[in-house]
Structures are given as structure tokens and as C-alpha cells.
């Protein structure tokens, strides 16, 4: 079995797992829309601010929704021993993690981006900018999943790992949220904001380098 | 004896502990002496700023703390590399010992900065790039400490924390250059500049004394904490052997 074959197998497995059992990716997507709804309720009398703060709500919501799906990235596979099997396969650890991130981005990131567009509509974002915002949210989901993989790998196999992942991802998610919200905030002005190119840059960097750090951390968990 | 032989000799925890035992009190005395000079000089003797009045004196406590928050992180990154490459117990103990100190310096920088910000900027906090990146630095310190407290097995905890330290090191140049890359409310550097310090000597000298005092306090505390860490491990291994 060659590497490409193994890579695609892991991507497919991860994407299928995201959709398997009890609603699949509808859960994080529903959670995302739920956050936007709660913030809208919280705004109350100041609801006319909603279109203005929509980028902030969408990007905070995306971070939380990705965070929620991170604990299944390595934890279940570590318990079932699947990670050891991957470790024995011809696929190097870093590429295996890239494959898992790709699968999760397809299985959960894509539905989250669409849910984000729907939530944007609820918050009064101009409809013509929603396609751009969905693309930006998809880029953001890839970057957040890659960076989150580092935290998930560091916390893998620990008790109360969920809380640790939340604390570790907080600083890692900060730049993505800043550049992403800046890009989405400028989308309705009809030009590509500097935030959009920075978001693209950070997504590419995270997708290349984060699997290496996550791989080092995961090897540690396997010892 | 060549240089690496000296390094190898003090890489032994016992030899390091003995050396640290003799350096620690000296570092403590130097730190207290520098504070005895620096604090009265900066808080009483130095002239009040002609625009900001006495509020500017916070600078003497704030700026060295901010410098230390980055210096300690650089020490952490050095320890992290030594931990990952040589799997050295001493490097790991040093990493563990330095993280709370760095977090404390960062907290002091953030708190004194916001106390100064209220009268000067009219707000305790603004979301400019410098303040935000230092806040992120604080969270990274907390994350490193959380990993140490979550993992019981010390060798594993050290390497996991080392990985996070190196990932978080990306933030250090962002903290340093944030005032140049973005238009921040926080002012740019007036001491470390290519064209020399741009600060009047009556402010510069007490500031440098305070910076040395902070540095001495850090090494004092760090050595105490590393020795404690070595003792804790020895106690644990004796306990396990019993």
C-alpha cells in the first residue's frame, strides 16, 4: 500500500467518522448557530448592533465549535489503538495528522462554514457578502483545526483533557480570530481587506507546520 | 578543561545543585542591593515627567517587567530545545521552574501598564497589537504551567511543555515588533534603538538599574526553584525505592 493510498484512506475515515452516528456534523453546525442565537438574545435592546458585531460573533462561534470537535481528533483513536496501527503503516506521523486534519476540515469545517453563513444571515449580514464569509470561515476552520491539533495531541490521553485543550488553544486561536474577523468585517465594503491575505497566510503556515508539532506531541503520548 | 567539559560537569544535577547553592545567596544580595538603589532613585529622586507628572514613574516598574516577560520566555525556549534534543533532566527542571516566574513578570507588566493607561490613555485596557500579544504571551505561560500540572510523569511533562514552548515562541517576535508593524497606541521602543537610546539620562540610568534588579531577582528565584525541583525529584525517587 503506497502513501497516497494510505493518506486518502485516513482522510476518508476521518470524514466518515465526522458524519457517523447521531447527527454527525449537524451537531457542531447546530451548536454554531445556537451561539449566534444566544448572542442575539443577549444583545436585547441593542439588537441594531448585530450586523456590526456579526464578524466577531461568527469567529468566536467558529473557534468554540472547532474546539468542541477537537477532543475526538486523537482521543478515541488513542483509546481504541487505531493510532498505533497508523503508526505501523507506511504513512509518516506528520502526514497522518495532515490527513486527519483534512478529513476533519471536510467533515466538520465545511458544514461549519455553511452554518456560519446561515448565522450571518440571522445577524443581518448583507446577503451578497455571505459567500465570501463562508470561504473565509472555511479557511479559518482549516487553520483552527491544524492549530487545535497541537493542543489535542499534547492533551491526548490525559484526565480532564477537555479543559486543558481549551486553555492551550486559547493563545493559538487568537491570531486566526483577529485576522479572520478583520477579513469578514471588511467583506461588505467590497474589497479584499489586508485581513484576508493575513488569514490565508496563517492558514497555509498552520497547515504546513502544525502537523509537525502535533506529531512530536503525539509520539510522546504513544510512549 | 575546555568549554564543553565545564558544561558537562555542571549538567550533573548534584554538581549544579552545589554550584547553585553558592550562587543563590550572592544573586539575592545583588538583587536586594539593586532594588535598594533603584527604587528610591526611580520613585523619589528622578524628576517628574514634564507632561505626565509622577504617573510616569510607573514606567520604572513596568518596562523592566515587560522586558523580563520576553527574556524569561527566551530562557524557556532554550531549556525547551535542550529538553527535546538531549532529554536533559536539568533543562526540564529549569523549564518547569522558570514558567511561573515568567507568568508573574508578564502579569506585573500587564497590571502596571493598565494602571498607567487609565490616567494617560483614559482606559485600563485597549486592544492594540502590543497589549494583545502580551496577553497571548501570558496565556501561553499559563498553558505551559497547566501541562506540567496535568502530567504526572515528569519526563513526559517536560517534553510536552517543551513542544508547547517552542510553538509559543512564534509570539515573541510579534510582541517585540508589534509596535513597529501596526499603528499601536502603545509607544515604540525608546531604549533599544539602532540610533541609541532616546531617553534623558536622568530617566535612563534608574531604569537600567531597575532592569538589572529584576534580572537579579529572576536568577535568584530561578536558582532556588531549580534546586527545589531537583530535591523534590530526589525525594520522590527515594520514596519510590523504599
Query: How many A×B Cβ pairs under 8 Å?
Result: 50
Q: Residue B52, exposed/middle/buried by CB under 10 A (0-12, 13-18, 19+)?
A: middle
Cβ neighbours of A174 in B, within 8 Å: 132, 136, 139
B222 compared with B52, residue with greater pLDDT: B222
How high is the pLDDT of residue A198?
87
Least confident range of A16-25, A209-218, B9-18: A16-25
CA-based torsion, A203, A207, A208, A209: positive or negative: positive
Q: Across residues B91-111, what is the average pLDDT?
A: 95
**What percent of chain B clears pLDDT 90, i.e. is strictly above it?**
48
* Short-list A144, A76, A74, CA closest to A109: A144
- What pLDDT, on the 0 to 100 scale, is given for residue A172? 92
- How far, CA to CA in Å, does B228 sit from each of A82, B20, B95, B170, B219? 40, 11, 13, 30, 14
> B156–A168: do the CB atoms touch at under 8 Å?
no
Domain ranges of chain A: 23-222
3-state SS assignment for residue B49: strand
> Which pLDDT score is estimated for B9?
67
Task: Answer whether A97's CB lies under 8 Å from A207's CB.
Answer: no
Q: Which of residues 78-137 of A touch B (CB under 8 A)?
A: none
Under 8 Å CB-to-CB from B53, ≥6 apart: which residues? none
% of chain A with per-residue pLDDT over 90: 40
CB contact under 8 Å between B156 and A154, yes or no, is no
Residue-wise pLDDT tens digits, A6-33: 889 889 888 888 877 666 778 889 999 9
- pLDDT(B220) > 90: yes
Gap from A207 CA to chain B (nearest CA, Å): 14
Q: How far is A188 from chain B (nearest CA, A)?
A: 23
Q: What pLDDT shows up at residue B136?
A: 93
User: Worst-scoring range by mean pLDDT, A51-55, A124-128, A156-160, A212-216?
Assistant: A156-160
Contact A177, A202 (CB under 8 A): no
Domain ranges (residues) in chain B: 22-184+198-241
By Cβ distance, the residue of B84, B143, B159 closest to A167 is B143
The yes-or-no verdict on residue A191 having pLDDT over 80 is no
CB-nearest to A150 from B156, B159, B167 is: B167
pLDDT at A114 over 90: yes
Most confidently modeled range among A61-75, A132-146, B116-130: A132-146
Confidence at B240, pLDDT banded by 50, 70, 90: confident
- Cβ distance A213 to B168 less than 8 Å, yes or no, reads no
Q: What is the pLDDT of residue B128?
A: 83
B135-179 pLDDT per residue, tens: 999 999 999 999 998 887 777 888 999 999 999 998 888 888 887
Report whether pLDDT(B197) > 80: no
User: What is the model's pLDDT at position B1?
Assistant: 46
Which pLDDT value is given to residue B10? 72
CB contact under 8 A, B147 and A168: yes
Of the pLDDT bands very low, low, confident and very high (cuts 50, 70, 90), residue A152 is very high
User: What is the rounded average pLDDT for all residues in chain B?
Assistant: 87
User: What is the pLDDT, as a whole number, of residue A21?
Assistant: 65
3-class DSSP state for residue B53?
Answer: strand
Contact A136, A196 (CB under 8 A): yes
Amino acid at each position: 500500500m503506497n502513501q497516497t493510498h494510505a493518506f486518502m484512506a485516513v482522510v476518508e475515515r476521518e470524514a466518515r467518522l465526522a458524519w457517523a452516528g447521531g447527527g454527525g456534523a449537524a451537531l457542531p453546525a447546530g451548536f454554531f448557530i445556537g451561539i449566534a442565537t444566544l448572542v442575539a438574545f443577549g444583545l436585547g435592546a441593542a439588537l441594531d448592533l448585530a450586523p456590526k458585531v456579526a464578524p466577531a460573533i461568527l469567529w468566536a462561534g467558529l473557534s468554540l465549535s472547532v474546539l468542541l470537535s477537537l477532543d475526538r481528533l486523537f482521543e478515541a483513536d488513542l483509546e481504541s489503538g487505531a493510532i498505533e496501527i497508523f503508526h505501523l503503516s507506511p504513512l509518516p506521523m506528520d502526514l497522518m495528522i495532515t490527513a486527519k486534519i483534512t478529513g476533519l476540515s471536510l467533515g466538520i469545517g465545511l458544514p461549519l462554514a455553511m452554518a456560519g453563513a446561515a448565522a450571518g444571515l440571522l445577524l443581518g449580514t448583507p446577503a451578497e457578502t455571505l459567500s465570501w464569509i463562508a470561504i473565509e470561515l472555511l479557511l479559518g476552520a482549516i487553520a483552527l483545526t491544524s492549530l487545535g491539533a497541537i493542543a489535542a495531541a499534547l492533551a491526548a490521553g490525559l484526565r480532564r483533557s477537555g479543559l486543558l485543550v481549551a486553555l492551550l488553544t486559547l493563545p493559538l486561536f487568537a491570531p486566526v480570530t483577529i485576522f479572520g474577523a478583520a477579513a469578514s468585517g471588511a467583506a461588505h465594503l467590497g474589497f479584499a481587506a489586508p485581513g484576508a491575505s493575513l488569514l490565508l497566510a496563517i492558514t497555509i503556515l498552520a497547515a504546513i507546520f502544525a502537523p509537525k508539532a502535533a506529531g512530536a506531541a503525539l509520539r510522546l503520548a504513544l510512549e | 578543561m575546555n568549554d564543553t567539559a565545564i558544561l558537562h560537569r555542571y549538567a550533573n544535577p548534584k554538581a549544579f545543585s552545589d554550584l547553585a547553592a553558592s550562587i543563590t545567596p550572592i544573586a539575592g544580595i545583588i538583587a536586594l542591593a539593586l532594588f535598594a538603589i533603584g527604587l528610591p532613585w526611580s520613585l523619589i529622586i528622578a524628576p517628574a515627567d514634564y507632561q505626565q507628572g509622577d504617573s510616569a514613574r510607573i514606567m520604572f516598574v513596568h518596562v523592566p517587567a515587560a522586558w523580563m516577560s520576553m527574556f524569561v520566555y527566551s530562557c524557556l525556549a532554550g531549556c525547551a530545545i535542550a529538553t527535546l534534543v538531549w532529554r536533559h533532566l536539568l533543562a526540564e527542571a529549569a523549564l518547569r521552574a522558570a514558567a511561573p516566574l515568567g507568568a508573574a513578570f508578564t502579569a506585573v507588566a500587564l497590571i502596571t501598564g493598565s494602571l498607567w493607561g487609565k490616567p494617560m490613555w483614559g482606559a485600563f485596557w485597549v486592544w492594540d497589537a502590543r497589549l494583545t500579544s502580551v496577553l497571548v504571551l501570558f496565556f501561553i505561560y499559563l498553558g505551559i504551567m497547566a501541562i506540567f500540572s496535568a502530567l504526572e510523569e515528569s519526563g513526559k511533562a517536560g517534553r510536552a511543555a517543551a513542544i508547547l514552548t517552542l510553538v509559543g515562541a512564534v509570539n515573541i517576535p510579534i510582541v517585540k515588533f508589534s509596535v513597529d508593524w501596526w499603528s499601536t497606541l502603545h509607544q515604540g521602543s525608546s531604549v533599544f534603538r539602532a540610533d541609541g537610546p532616546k531617553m534623558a539620562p536622568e530617566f535612563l540610568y534608574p531604569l537600567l538599574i531597575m532592569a538589572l534588579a529584576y534580572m537579579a531577582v529572576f536568577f535568584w528565584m530561578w536558582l532556588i526553584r531549580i534546586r527545589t525541583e531537583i530535591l523534590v525529584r530526589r525525594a520522590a525517587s527515594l520514596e519510590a525505592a523504599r
